[in-house]
Amino acid sequence: MKVSSYPPVNTNIFPFCRWATNYFIACHTAPNELVGQIGDGNADHGFWGRPEEMTMDRPAFKITASSPGSDLAGETAAALAASSIYFKARGDTAYAATCLEHARQLLDFADKYRGVYTDAIPAGGFYNSWSGYKDEIVWAAAWVAKATADPADITRATQLYNEMGAATSNPTEISWDDKYAMLQLVMYDVTGEQAYMNKAQDMITYILGAPRTPKGLVWISSSAWGSLRHASNFAMFCMQAAHYGIQAKEAMAFAESQINYILGDGAGHSYVVGWGTNPPQRPHHRAASCPDMPAVCDWAAYNNQGPNPQVGDQRGFQLFIFVNRLYVMPVSNNLQFFNFKVFQSEDLSYNILRFYFSSFLPHFIQVK
């Protein structure tokens, strides 16, 4: 099922965006304060059942001037600045201005009080910031500059880009943790300078030269956990680069090949929950695994070998969520790849559902 078969998403994406930005704004409780986690990761992962039946304590954790988290504040600033562009284009100028105001404050917070968020919030065992906070600070500044086109904001982004050593970065992935590759595209868009285009071109060359599985999925050293997220993030990068005229034909062809693989051209079945031919039936999703109420939902539901009972809970994710890994087996000094039926796996590295694994997909559909 090729991506061109999807319906338009203009009318569907708005509530998702506003839900997220409302949440970020609510978490930004003061100029130098951001709530970054609600709940205890170990307690949450130790529970299997319906979310409305979670009765354990749900502590809240925040970053502050005395306990900073530049990576978290910077990423939130970037998200709000980018969202302000979207809301402004829709004509919701007042709400766009609110998003941008919070983005500016969070950028200032991230820049002035520097530190890694896991020093303030107990998330290191789950979402450690392996790349540090420098990329997120520049990422935030770049998106604020794009949202405003203010020369002062562009100058600030350029200065932070140089200060944080972004010019010497050589990213090998595009992920929630590493923003350097996408940063080059935003800075090129904002400034039009050749140096940023050259860095983006280097990334395209790397992506197009990366190994592929026999059926065409790009594979890098990080692909052992969530291979489709890396493929789709590369696809998103290539689409945006093509939009700027950077090796456009090759970049778009690569992007289409990866997205069509995810939609079913690769292993002969869709990896998008609720969509296409033989889609995943048993993803790692607590509520979807539960039997109808009032039956008890616990770890017995996790161990159930049949399809998840709550199809509706899964289909609500269909445009945004997909199973994200293929099986990889080392043989001698080479990697031999096998398409693998992952839909019944208890290993969450194969079938966990995450928004960031698939946030590229509405973007791709919109470009098409």
We report the CATH number of the domain holding residue 101 as 1.50.10.10
Domain count, the chain: 2
How long a stretch of residues is the chain? 368
Same domain, yes or no, for 18 and 60?
yes
Nearest one of 170, 184, 83, 86 to 138, comparing CA atoms: 184
Q: How far is CA 46 from the centre of its chain?
A: 24
Beta strands 334-338; 60-64: pairing state: unpaired
Residue 131, domain member (yes or no): yes
For residue 316, what pLDDT is reported?
Answer: 41
CB 44 within 8 A of CB 61: no
Same domain, yes or no, for 349 and 206?
yes
pLDDT tens for the chain, 368 residues: list them: 454 544 444 556 778 889 999 999 999 999 999 999 999 999 999 999 999 999 999 999 999 999 999 999 999 999 999 999 999 999 999 999 999 999 999 999 999 999 999 999 999 888 888 889 999 999 999 999 999 999 999 999 999 999 999 999 999 999 989 999 999 999 999 999 999 999 999 999 999 999 999 989 999 998 888 888 899 999 999 999 999 999 999 999 999 999 999 888 877 888 887 778 888 888 888 998 999 999 999 999 999 989 999 865 444 444 334 444 333 322 223 333 333 333 444 454 444 555 444 455 544 544 44
Pick the last residue of a domain from 131, 149, 168: 168
DSSP 216: S
Residue 29, domain member (yes or no): yes
Tokens representing 178 are 């590493």
Strand partners, 63: 34
Residue 253, domain member (yes or no): yes
Pick the last residue of a domain from 123, 150, 168: 168
Same domain, yes or no, for 112 and 246?
no
Show the domain range for 232: 197-368
Residue 44, domain member (yes or no): yes
Nearest one of 204, 113, 111, 206 to 164, comparing CA atoms: 111
Same domain, yes or no, for 281 and 158?
no
Burial class (CB in 10 A: 0-12, 13-18, 19+), 33: middle
CB-based contacts of 173, cutoff 8 Å, min separation 6: 181, 220, 222, 230, 233
Pick the last residue of a domain from 148, 168, 188: 168
